[in-house]
Amino acid sequence: MGIKNGDARTGLSTAWGRLKWPLLLAAVLLCALAVVVAGMVPGVLAPKPSPSIPSWQQSPSALAGSSAVQPLDANAPMPVQADVTKLLEETLKPSGSGSITGVVLDAATGKVLFDRDAAANRIPASNMKLLTAVAALKALGPETRFTTRVLGTDDPHTVVLAGGGDVLLGGGASDPSAVLGHAGLATLAADTAASLKNAGIKGPVTVQVDDSLFSGAPLNPAWSLGDVAAGETAPLYSLALNSGRYSPTTTTGPRPQDSAVTTAQAFAEQLAAAGVEVGSGVERGKGLPAKLLASAESATVSEQVDHMLQTSDNFLAEALGRLTAAASGRKATYDGATAAVRERLGELGIASDSMELADVSGLALENQVSARQFAEVVRAITSGPDLSLRAALDGFPVAGLTGTLDDRYVDPSTAQGAGLVRAKTGTLNTVIALSGYVVDADGRLLVFSFIGNGLEPGAAGNKVAMDRSASVLAACGCRG
């Protein structure tokens, strides 16, 4: 049945009548909603007003002049000795028994600004590492690396892990960005496995270790056996994992007593993980230099020196001392290390005849060095003519921020030195030392050394006294 035109118009009109009121209602609702949204969210439907942005949040219209770290001003006024002395006499006082010697020097000229028995020999604790640092940098060079090798022997089924002085080996893959673990046993084992495979060597492989680079007694007789048992250090060998620790995250407690064998055992495990059948046990032996299977290089001497100073690592300090001895044409023994350190200090013009050196890490109570000698070493690092020593600058812990000073300079009387003082710490039972450098309020670079001996064990006031003394130097505008 067809539909007439009139019927069609009537049908459409009726349909529109049914729809127009819902549509009109929807339109009204949409308009109302738009008004609400516009009121709630400015800028959605309305013009966006100009925001009021603080000037410090706005993009600069031009580059400003630098006001950050500037070169030292050679014409900065030098502090007056009497004023510096007056300040330090008020702060540099032991808490209880004992005494504190000290010295402050102007870095540029060497002028003495404070002197309290500065020439007197004292037990320096870990400030000894400053002497080791400059000797190692001078003898070895900042960019030198130590190589750990895997060598073949006359027996194709025997490989030798040969220590080259790297005691910061890691157990995993080599990490080029790290100091501890820069060379890793997993990478060394994978490279060794590839060499064995290429040579067609199958069947059980015996792992030996060659630690002959260092000679003499592994344990220094000047050390307290109690300190060794507590893990302050350990018998020294020419290769070690984690600076003579079981784990890179473990910094206290007992250590492996034969780091060479422990490292070789860990290497054997990594070799097995790389698909090599490995025999049981590890032996000492020597490989043939011409049969190099794999090798891995350590972090640089500069990086290791900085790590040693930041963390006050006794084991690493002694290793660097032995390597300094070898580079100086001496036997790589404890005595060779102390002799080499003394020799290198002499080359820098630092008088060392009065020093008594029993080790190069500072654990030995027989060490005797003066505050003046430490200040001269710091001055050689900051301002001396041998530019290779500048590599040690980053190793000084920053007050309240890094290394062994990260938890100090929080006392209100010392807070003004936080972030400004950079110094090497030293702590034994009755000994506290602090040697470093600071730029004073007038822009003058000062070096200092404070050494306390015979102190009351555990008296917190002694560290505060030294920290406060370094802090007043940072705040000093001592021009009279």
Tell me the mean pLDDT in the region 188-202.
96
Closest CA to 432 of 392, 472, 469: 469
Full-model pTM: 0.85
Catalytic (active site) residue 388: no
CATH for 81-129+349-475 is 3.40.710.10
Which has the minimum average pLDDT: 120-134, 159-173, 176-190, 406-420?
A: 406-420
Residues found in the chain? 480
Q: Is the pLDDT of residue 414 over 60?
A: yes
> pLDDT tens digit string along 36-78?
333 433 443 344 444 455 554 455 555 444 444 467 888 899 9
State residue 72's pLDDT score. Answer: 82
- Active site includes 126? yes
- Selected catalytic residue, list 174, 259, 312, 370: 312
The string of pLDDT tens digits covering residues 111-168 is 999 999 999 999 999 999 999 999 999 999 999 999 999 999 999 999 999 999 999 9
Question: What is the model's pLDDT at position 478?
Answer: 85
Identify whether 20 is a catalytic site residue: no
Structural domain boundaries of the chain? 81-129+349-475, 147-299
SS (H, E, C) the chain: CCCCHHHHHHHHHHHHHHHHHHHHHHHHHHHHHHHHHHHHCCCCCCCCCCCCCCHHHCCCCCCCCCCCCCCCCCCCCCCCHHHHHHHHHHHCCCCCCCEEEEEEEECCCCCEEEEECCCCEECCHHHHHHHHHHHHHHHHCCCCCCEEEEEECCCCCEEEEECCCCCCEECCCCCCCCCCCCCEHHHHHHHHHHHHHHCCCCCCEEEEEECCCCCCCCCCCCCCHHHHHCCCCCCCCCCCECCCCCCCCCCCCCCCCCHHHHHHHHHHHHHHHCCCCEEEEEEECCCCCCCEEEEEECCCHHHHHHHHHHHCCHHHHHHHHHHHHHHCCCCCCHHHHHHHHHHHHHHCCCCCCCCECCCCCCCCCCCEEEHHHHHHHHHHHHHCCCHHHHHHHHHCCECCCCHHHCCCCCCCCCHHHCCCCEEEEEEECCEEEEEEEEECCCCCEEEEEEEEECCCCCCHHHHHHHHHHHHHHHHCCCCC
Q: pLDDT by residue (tens digit) across 240-261?
A: 999 999 999 988 999 999 999 9
First to last CA, the chain: 119
pLDDT of residue 203: 83
pLDDT in tens, 290-317: 899 999 999 999 999 999 999 999 999 9
Average pLDDT, the chain: 88
**Of residues 13 and 426, more confidently modeled:** 426
Which of 126, 238, 298, 435 is an active site residue? Answer: 126
The arithmetic mean of pLDDT across residues 270-290, rounded, is 93
Could you tell me the pLDDT band of residue 411, with boundaries at 50, 70 and 90? confident
Q: Whole-angstrom Cα distance, residue 390 to residue 242?
A: 26
The per-residue pLDDT for 114 is 98
Task: Identify the sign of the CA torsion 132, 135, 137, 140.
Answer: negative
